[in-house]
Structure formats: C-alpha cells, structure tokens
Chain A
Amino acid sequence: MHDDVLIAAQNLGYQLPVCKRMKNAARWILRDLSFTLERGALCAVLGPNGVGKSTLLRMLAGMQTAGAGQVIRRGRVGYVPQAVHPALPLSALEMTLLGRAGNTALFGAPKKQDYDAARAALARVEAAHLAARPFSMLSGGERQLVLMARALAAEADILILDEPTAALDWHNQALIMRLLQDLAAEGVTVITSTHAPQHAFEFASHALLLFDADHFAFGAPAGVMDEAALSRLFHLPVRRVPLPEHAGEKMAAIPIFSMLHAQPQTQPV
C-alpha cells in the first residue's frame, strides 16, 4: 500500500446483532465499503439518518470491531464524539488534558508536558481563553472546540468527528469547518459526518455518500455530489446552483422541501 495513505477501509461491513426475541434476521447496515484517504484529506460523510454514519466512524476509529473487512490506520486516531456529559465539574483545560489519558500510566498523573500539550491544543483551536471555564458552562460551539482540542492533545494524525456541527448556528458551523480545513492543510487527516452538503462543497476534499447499506459513492465533492446523487441521498429533490462569488466549482445545494413525494424513492444505480 502507498506510504502516504493514512486511513483506508477495505470491504468494510457491519451487521446488526440478531435479537432472538424479535425473531429478526441479521441485517447489514454497511457492506463492502472501501475507500482510501491520504494525509491531509478532509472527507465529509453524508447520508440519511440511521444509514450507519456513526457506526462507520466508530469502526474507523477502532471503537467498534468491524463485522467484515478491515480498517488500515497509519497514525494515531482522535475521535470527537457529538457530545460529552462529564459527571464532575471539569474545567475546559482538564477536559482537554483528558485527551492524554490514554498515554498516561495507570497510576500516573499528567505531567508538565501534558499540560503544555493541552494548552497548545486549546490554543490551536483558538480556545485558549476558555481554559479556566467550567466545561458544562460553555456554549455548544465552544464545547465542540474543546472536544477537538482534546483529540488534538492526544497528538492525533487522524481526526474522526461525529457531526461536530450538529446543533450549531451557521457562523459556528463555518468556524468549525474552517478549523477542520486548517488542520487538514497542516497534515491531519480529517473525517467528519455532516448533514449539510454545503460543508462538503465548500470545505472538503472528499465526499463519501452513504445511500443505503450496499450503495455508496466516494470522490471529489463537486464530481460525486450531482443533483441526482443528492436527491437520492436525501429522498428529496435537490437543486445544485453555482455560486457566482466563487468563480469555479463552488456550489450551493438547495433542497426543495415542499416536493417531498415528487421524487421516486429508489432509482437503479
């Protein structure tokens, strides 16, 4: 395999466990998924609710064992969950510091270099001023920044984020996505799930569309995310409009919500 490949999925699959009482058959929620991301790529994962985005991200992060196929990782993975609910009153700095927990000895405490790494990580997401604030008092956008800092404090080469922009306003969405783009430019490989095609168009180098368990599309956002693909993805007619102020490939995707049933639900591939 090529040396610059940081993370790759090979024929990855996941099967929901069989529940005997419900008498259901084992169901694949992902099957035969393969893609390859190089260093510095920013991949947006799009798909309808329940298609298995989170499962895929957790398999990529190594938090869930793959049902089939394998994940190849070259580097340390940092996983950023959608939300964390600390039971103790932690400061933002302490939360960031916990990114170092995996590298700390079982009977050890963080040392000065760990504090330095945590402060540097907070500074890198431009959240140094939040260090002393209680984590649970932060706004949604600030929490997301701190959680990203926590992943960076672990010196992650691959950053995997589960809908980091969920429940954020447009401005904060732009801040998070811009930050991910900056990190990618610095050589971090980023995989993030999102429900906004616009994020993929404006910031991502790759898009992974999950239509259903067996069908997916992977490639450059502008190429892969045409109107047909987006309409199929969201089960809604979607129009794609070029943005005049971005001479070139920047696009806007506009869903036509009122035409909910105008689009045929399934199309042959």
Chain B
Amino acid sequence: MNTALLTLPAAASARNTTNNENRKIWTSTWILAALLLLALIAGLTLGRYLIAPTRVLEILFSGSGFDTRDPEAAMAARVIESVRLPRVLLAALIGAGLAAAGAALQSLFRNPLAEPQLLGVSSGAAFGGVLAMLLVGDGQPLVIGALVFGMLALAAVFWLAGGKAATAGSGTVLLVLAGIVVSGVFAAGVSLIKLVADPQNQLPAIVFWLMGSLATADRDRLLLALPCVGVGLIALYGLRFQLLALSLGEEDARGLGVKVALARALTLIAVGLITAASVAVCGIVGWVGLVAPHLIRMSFGADHRNFLLNVMLGGAAYLVLVDTFARAATAEEIPLGVLTALLGAPLFAFLVRRIGHGLEC
C-alpha cells in the first residue's frame, strides 16, 4: 500500500543479516574485553621497574607461594601484589565507573556534554576530602570525608531541585541548576580551606590530591571503592533500557509508561556513588566520562544492546592505560587528572568534529 514510503524492500535478506548483525555487535564487546586484558597486563608489566609479562602471569597464578630465596623474584612479587595489582584494578574500576556515569548522565540530561562532575557530587567530595585533610589528616579520614560529603552534595541537589522535580516537566533542568549551585558552593569551600591550610605541608598535599592521582592506591582503597562503584555499575547496567527511554525526554518517556521519577532518582544515586567513591580514592579525574562514551560510539556504532557494557570496558581500559603512562613515561609521576585532561581535551576536540556530523544522523 505505501509504495512511496517503501525504499528497496530488503525483507528477504533481513533474516539472514539478523544473525550476522548479532555476531557483529557482540564482537565489539569481545574486542574491548581483550583490550582491557592487554591494558591490565601492560599496567602490571610497565613501570619504573620492568617486570616481564611472563613473570607477571607466573606471579599472578602462583598466588603467594613464590620462591622467596630468589631476592629478585620476591621483589617482583611484592611490587605486583602490593602496589601494581591494586593500582591497575582500581584504575579499571574507576575508569569503568566514570565512563558509565558519563554515558548515563548524557542519556538522562539529553546532552552529549554531560559528565559526572555536572552533578556537584565531585565538588562536594573534594570539599569533604580537603576538610578531612585540614582537620584530621591524610589517608583514611580523607577517603571517608570525601565519600560522606559527596553523598551530602547529592542529597543537597535533590533537596534544591525539590519534590517538584519528580513530577514537573522540567525536572532535569532543575537538577542541572541545582548541580551548578551545589558545585559552586563546595568549590568556594575548597578555595577557603586552601586559604587557611598550612602552606608548608597541607597546601601542597591538598593541591596534589585535587589534581587526581592513583599513586596512593592500595588494597584498602580498592576494597573501599569496590562496593560503592560496583553497586553503581550494576545499577546503571540494569537501568540501561530505562535510560534509553529517558533519553527521549521526560514527557515522552512518561507517555510510554516509564516510571520517570524512580528511574531518574536511581540513576542519580548510582552516578553519585560512583563519583563520590572515585574522588575519595583518587581525587578529581575528569574527562573520562565525557570521552569514553563518545569514543565507543564513534568506534563501534550505537547499538544500545551492549553500549553501556562497551562503555564500561572501554573506560576501564582507557584509564588503566593512561595511569600506566602517567607513572611509566617520566621519572616524576604526572598526576592522573592532569593527564586525562591533557589527553581527553584534544581527543574530544577531534571527536567534536565527528560528533558535529554524527548529531545530524
């Protein structure tokens, strides 16, 4: 009946291509998983102290039963187990978390420029961290202070956006505005603490921590970040279809029967948990949430069946590689946050040119 709307009917070949398509789609996930594995091995191998990949695998699979009579082997095992393994795993965890959080916010706010820092949670966590450094000290108090204030910032965003945000048509706009307010207040708070901090010891520590670094990564921090980021990742992965519906806009999503307020609140809590935990263990690491989703979409297309999974794997591999570069490339370690910005900004500039075309289709 609709001959004019019909382009060349490809119905016969459609069935054949479906299976091929499926295989092609999941190929990208396997490629990214392999890339992550390679990045992890590279991260364990490279550093100021080179350890051969074969030795790395040996140590990983032999557990702690290595030969302690060979001092060099014992040294390598200690470096792997207490320094590099927690560090690469933490980098992978944070990378996956920030990338997924960015992708989720880009969907939720219908804006390709959204990233986890938009919500004000990272500013809140930064304030909590430096406050703890000022009053109590580095280490555990810092991590807990950052986590607590990150979640407080999220609560403040919800409170400012008000109960209306759940039902009003402009709920997401209110949330963005509230995020800007909270972000501004906590950023001012951080400046204030820098002003009163002891310029000999505290101030350099604060400044270095704010730049973002995984240099302090250890087993404790990994175990602290794992539940927060893990829960956030699982929640976001579960919500992936609702996030797709929310990307149509609140009104349309509601018309489709989506529980907009609930899905949105769960997404923001998951993103908040991931962001707060990442700031707590490695300071502010920007650009990952912005670059990773676009990079994945550009490289592998936009099939949303495995998009979020690809983003998680890609973000993890990206941050592991960047962190490895940060500590292995030069004698003095470059702060991770500085490097992600240094790499992310030009990479994003390159993507922007292609997104410019991509947005039209």
Contact B5 A145 (CB under 8 A): yes
Looking at the assembled complex, report how far the CB atom of B232 sits from the nearest CB atom of chain A, in whole angstroms: 13
Contacts of A172 in B (CB 8 A): 4-5
Instruction: Give the contacting residue for A175; candidates B4, B254, B297; CB below 8 A.
Output: B4
Among A61, A88, A137, the one with the most B-chain Cβ atoms within 10 Å of its Cβ is A88
Looking at the assembled complex, report how far the CB atom of A71 sits from the nearest CB atom of chain B, in whole angstroms: 15
Contacting residues of chain A (85-129) with chain B, CB-CB under 8 angstroms: 85-91, 94, 98-99, 101-104, 106-110, 126-129
Contact B7 A129 (CB under 8 A): yes
Known: A86-B248, A101-B256. Contact between A178 and B1, CB under 8 A?
Answer: yes
Contact B258 A102 (CB under 8 A): yes
Is A237 in contact with chain B by the CB < 8 A criterion? no
Among B239, B242, B263, the one with the most A-chain Cβ atoms within 10 Å of its Cβ is B242
Contacts of A63 in B (CB 8 A): 251, 254-255
Known: A88-B247, A94-B304, A154-B257. Contact between A108 and B241, CB under 8 A?
Answer: yes
Contact B239 A101 (CB under 8 A): no
Contacting residues of chain A (51-102) with chain B, CB-CB under 8 angstroms: 61, 63, 79, 81, 84-91, 94, 98-99, 101-102
Contacts of A89 in B (CB 8 A): 297, 302, 358, 361
Contacting residues of chain B (347-361) with chain A, CB-CB under 8 angstroms: 358, 360-361
- Could you give, for residues 265-279 of chain B, a 1 whenever the CB lies within 8 Å of some chain A CB and a 0 otherwise? 010000000000000
Looking at the assembled complex, report how far the CB atom of A106 sits from the nearest CB atom of chain B, in whole angstroms: 6
Contacts of A137 in B (CB 8 A): 361
Contact A142 B5 (CB under 8 A): yes
Known: A84-B252, A94-B304. Contact between A106 and B358, CB under 8 A?
Answer: no
Q: How far is the CA of A145 from the CA of B258 in the complex (A)?
A: 22
Known: A88-B247, A175-B5. Contact between A81 and B255, CB under 8 A?
Answer: yes
Contact B257 A129 (CB under 8 A): no
Is A134 in contact with chain B by the CB < 8 A criterion? yes
Contacts of A104 in B (CB 8 A): 241-242
Q: How far is the CA of A129 from the CA of B9 in the complex (A)?
A: 6
Contact A88 B2 (CB under 8 A): no
- The residue on B at minimum CB distance from A108 is B241
- The residue on A at minimum CB distance from B8 is A129
- Could you give, for residues 175-196 of chain A, a 1 whenever the CB lies within 8 Å of some chain B CB and a 0 otherwise? 1001100000000000000000
- The residue on B at minimum CB distance from A147 is B252
Contacts of B254 in A (CB 8 A): 63
Q: Is the interface of B mostly helix, strand, loop or mixed?
A: loop
- Could you give, for residues 1-24 of chain B, a 1 whenever the CB lies within 8 Å of some chain A CB and a 0 otherwise? 110111111110010000000000
Known: A101-B257, A106-B238. Contact between A87 and B107, CB under 8 A?
Answer: yes
Contact B257 A126 (CB under 8 A): no
Is A198 in contact with chain B by the CB < 8 A criterion? no
Is A261 in contact with chain B by the CB < 8 A criterion? no
Instruction: Give the contacting residue for A141; candidates B5, B7, B244, B305; CB below 8 A.
Output: B5
- The residue on B at minimum CB distance from A176 is B2
Contacts of A150 in B (CB 8 A): 256
Is A220 in contact with chain B by the CB < 8 A criterion? no
Contacts of A127 in B (CB 8 A): 5
Is A136 in contact with chain B by the CB < 8 A criterion? yes
Contact B252 A81 (CB under 8 A): yes
Contact A88 B107 (CB under 8 A): yes
Looking at the assembled complex, report how far the CB atom of A254 sits from the nearest CB atom of chain B, in whole angstroms: 26
Q: How far is the CA of A98 from the CA of B254 in the complex (A)?
A: 12
Contacts of A128 in B (CB 8 A): 11, 14
Instruction: Give the contacting residue for B244; candidates A85, A98, A131, A142; CB below 8 A.
Output: A98
Among A61, A84, A107, A128, the one with the most B-chain Cβ atoms within 10 Å of its Cβ is A107
Looking at the assembled complex, report how far the CB atom of B333 sits from the nearest CB atom of chain A, in whole angstroms: 37
Is A23 in contact with chain B by the CB < 8 A criterion? no
Contacts of B248 in A (CB 8 A): 84-87, 98
Is B219 in contact with chain A by the CB < 8 A criterion? no
Looking at the assembled complex, report how far the CB atom of B235 sits from the nearest CB atom of chain A, in whole angstroms: 8
Known: A88-B107, A175-B2. Contact between A154 and B256, CB under 8 A?
Answer: yes
- The residue on B at minimum CB distance from A94 is B304
- The residue on A at minimum CB distance from B254 is A63
Contact A88 B244 (CB under 8 A): yes
Contacts of B266 in A (CB 8 A): 106
30 intermolecular pairs with C-beta atoms under 8 Å apart: A81-B251, A84-B252, A88-B107, A88-B244, A88-B247, A89-B361, A90-B244, A90-B302, A101-B245, A101-B258, A102-B258, A103-B257, A106-B238, A106-B263, A106-B266, A109-B240, A109-B241, A126-B2, A126-B5, A129-B6, A129-B10, A129-B14, A131-B14, A136-B361, A145-B2, A154-B256, A154-B257, A175-B1, A178-B1, A179-B1
A-B pairs, top 10 by smallest CB distance, nearest first, are: A102-B257, A107-B238, A87-B110, A101-B245, A89-B302, A79-B255, A87-B247, A88-B247, A101-B256, A175-B2
Chain B residues packing against A (C-beta within 8 Å): 1-2, 4-11, 14, 106-107, 110-112, 235, 238-242, 244-245, 247-249, 251-259, 262-263, 266, 297, 302-305, 358, 360-361
